[in-house]
Amino acid sequence: MSARQLWEGTDAASWAQRLNGRTKLLVLFLFAILMITVDNPRTLFMLFSFTLLLHIVARTSIYKWKVLAVLLLLGLWGSMFSQALFYAQTPRSPLFVIISPEAGILGQLTGGLYVYREGILYGAVQGLRSASMLTLGLLVCWTSDPRQLLQAMLAWRLSPQLAFMLVTAIRFLPVLAAETGEIITALQLRSDSQRGRTAVLRHLPYIAKPLLARCLRRAQTLALSVVSRGFFLAGARKRKEIWALSERSACAALAVLVVAVVSSKLIYLLSEQGFYFGVFRQIYDWTVLYL
């Protein structure tokens, strides 16, 4: 699989490609609200597992699974490691000492460097939030044609110029990966070097200029194409894609669920500030157990 195909959604399941762009963007937005609202580790893990299940149902290829796994591991490891070292809340229980406070000048400057148990748990929870959004975001990118997202933004009365810039930014990643691969191949052929990581690293300093030149030429061609088709004219707004009733109903149901979750969280937070009402006791218990 080429670098460009790795970041495109041409190999996804047909049902995922047929979904309306408004459905995908709205689900992504509502899911982000859930990630902000929920604090329970078990619920966050269930939501994260649900995003992985969507990748399985959408038939994400094994190459994309590898990319996803690397990004998730780096994100989770970075979140847990940073919070384990710099967790500042109390109580905190040090598991072991990296730098002792009595270890010379470095120990005096840092005041000691510890790995805290609560920091690892807190970092894991925060990492699940970012991992869930990363997984769902990549699913949207890998199963969507840029035109779907563009039509969705235009249907929501977004400025054509702003919508075009956002979609171009998404589309730019696979194009940039493909251009970089071609430049590296050309440099290897010109220098008669062997393939491998060492050869790629040796050619990295010479990639920037040809890559910038290619991007400028492609941007000029894209600008002329957009202007010639009259994309930014007022008539472009009239081209709308039909939003299926089943998709709108599913989005409405998810929106109701998110509003209920956010309302339960707000009611519980108000109870902690002294605004306690006995009629909401079951909501308080439900929030403590699952949110």
User: Residue 11: what pLDDT?
Assistant: 65
Q: Look up the pTM and report it.
A: 0.72
User: Residue 89: what pLDDT?
Assistant: 72
User: Residue 244: what pLDDT?
Assistant: 78
Q: CA 138, CA 31: separation in Å to the nearest integer?
A: 14
Regions of the chain where pLDDT drops below 50 = 235
Q: Is 205 exposed, middle or buried (0-12, 13-18, 19+ CB in 10 A)?
A: exposed
User: Residue 276: what pLDDT?
Assistant: 75
Burial 225-251 (b: 16+ CB within 10 A, else e): eeeeeebeeeeeeeeeeeeeeebeeeb
**Nearest residue to 210 via CA among 182, 230, 232, 229:** 182
**Nearest residue to 48 via CA among 148, 129, 157, 108:** 129
Q: How far is CA 16 from CA 5, 44, 143, 146, in A?
A: 17, 24, 6, 14
Q: CA 14, CA 55: separation in Å to the nearest integer?
A: 13
User: Residue 8: what pLDDT?
Assistant: 61
**Domain extents in the chain:** 1-144, 152-242, 244-291
User: Residue 279: what pLDDT?
Assistant: 75
* N- to C-terminal Cα separation, the chain: 41
